[in-house]
Structure formats: C-alpha cells, structure tokens
Chain A
Amino acid sequence: QSALTQPASVSGSPGQSVTISCTGTITTFTTYNLVSWYQHHPGKAPKLIISEANKRPSGISDRFSGSKSGATASLTISGLQAEDEAVYYCCSYADTDSFDKLFGGGTYLAVL
C-alpha cells in the first residue's frame, strides 16, 4: 500500500519553530489538498489541527500552520511551548474514489 512518510522525531526549544514533513505518492495526496494533521498526546484522543493542508479548525492556535507543494505537506509549529510535545500525524485519502484513509507513521515532537 502507498505510504505517507514522516520523520520519526523532531525537536526544538521553547519559542523556536519546527516543521514536520509528510511525503506521499498517492494521487489524491499529490493532486489535491485533502491532507489533515492531528496532534496526539498520550492517553488522549487525537485532535484535528489542520485540514485541507492549510486550514485551521476553530479554536486551534495560529501557531500551527500547514502548507503543501506537490507530494509534500508540511506542518509548522511556531513559538514552541511545552504543551506542544506530542506525536503529530498526517492523514490523506488512500485512493481516488475512496473514503479509505491513510496515516503517516507519526512524528514525535520533543520540546527541549
């Protein structure tokens, strides 16, 4: 099955910015902006923080931003805070004409 590839981990100091990449070859991923990002803290439900590659749902801090160019989507977190330490997942549709989903492997963000 096609994959969405993320780095296993990234790190940054409080106040800094970090960017997490998500690379894929699925047609729905490369052609459309139908990519979502989720923040997942241990023991909690995943939380939608970016949809359609660059849209923030209501209530999500503007420190979170997304972008996409071709086969790579990116999540940038600016002004890092301790509570940003979590695992971040990208997600896309697995195929055209399908509502099946595919997650990236997840990226652990360490706030040092």
Chain B
Amino acid sequence: QVQLVQSGAEMKKPGASVRVSCKASGYTFGTSDINWVRQATGQGLEWMGWMNPDSGDASYARKFHGRLSMSTNTSITTAFMDLSSLTSEDTAIYYCSRGAWLELLDYWGQGTLVTVSS
C-alpha cells in the first residue's frame, strides 16, 4: 500500500533553515509528483509546491519563491522540502502528499511540526 513517512518534529530559530523529508513506498516513486502542503497554527491548508522525481520539474507557490526548494533522491525514494529564512509565521505542520491527475492529492504523510522560536 502507498505510504508516505515524514521526518520528525523540528525546532528552529528565526533566520534558520529547515529540511523535512518524506519517504515514499508502495508505488513507483518517479511516476507521481510529490506536493508539499502546510497548516500554520489556526490557519487552513496552504499548498506550497510540487516536484516530479523523474523529470525534476517543480513549481512553487509565489509566496515562497526564493525561500523554498524541493528535491528528491530516487535511489531512496525520498523527497525533501527545504525552507530558509524562517520566521515565526513559518511555524506549522508540513505535509507531503502524492499528486494524482484526477484526485489532485491522494495519499498524505503524517505531517511534521516545525516550530520557529527564539
């Protein structure tokens, strides 16, 4: 069965960077985009971007341009999300999700809490 397992909670200081990983299993990793979605405290779901593991094509939401980078390592079927210049407004639960043309986002990771605090 399809599974996405994310790395553990992170605590960062303002100005730092964070990397969250997402290990995929149960399907052919390269055939589906990996999307990243976050939920800040008290806010709704916010789509951040997607990346295709095979082609390396990616697209990021405009508000994260310059701070957000996604990558994948196909040999270990793992996707990574790097967010830099963190502020307290980046405190959120970050989710990876598999993209599917008709379903949009069909399977989700368990979420990773990133806390930004001095």
Binding site for B on A (CB under 8 A): 1, 34, 36, 38, 40, 45-48, 51-52, 57, 87, 89, 91-94, 98-106
Q: Give the residues in chain B near A105, CB-CB below 8 Å.
A: 44
- A91 neighbours in B (Cβ, 8 Å): 45, 47, 104-105
Query: Which chain A positions have C-beta within 8 A of B105?
Result: 36, 38, 46, 48, 91, 101
Would you mind naming 17 contact pairs between A and B with Cβ atoms under 8 Å apart? A40-B39, A45-B95, A45-B108, A45-B111, A48-B106, A51-B103, A51-B106, A57-B103, A89-B45, A91-B104, A93-B104, A98-B59, A100-B49, A100-B59, A101-B35, A103-B37, A103-B46
Contact with A along B57-81 (1 / 0, CB 8 A): 0010110000000000000000000
* Bitwise interface map of B from 27 to 56 toward A, beta carbon under 8 Å scored 1, else 0: 000000101010100001111011000000
Tell me how far the C-beta of A67 lies from the nearest C-beta in chain B, rounded to whole angstroms: 17
Known: A87-B44, A91-B105. 20 other contacts (CB 8 A): A34-B102, A38-B45, A40-B39, A46-B95, A46-B97, A46-B108, A57-B103, A57-B106, A89-B45, A92-B104, A93-B104, A99-B33, A99-B59, A100-B47, A100-B50, A100-B59, A101-B50, A103-B45, A104-B44, A106-B44
Interface size on B, residues (CB 8 A): 25
B109 within 8 A of A: yes
A99 and B104 alpha carbons, distance in the complex (Å):
8
B: residues with CB less than 8 A from A are 33, 35, 37, 39, 44-47, 49-50, 59, 61-62, 95, 97, 99, 102-106, 108-111
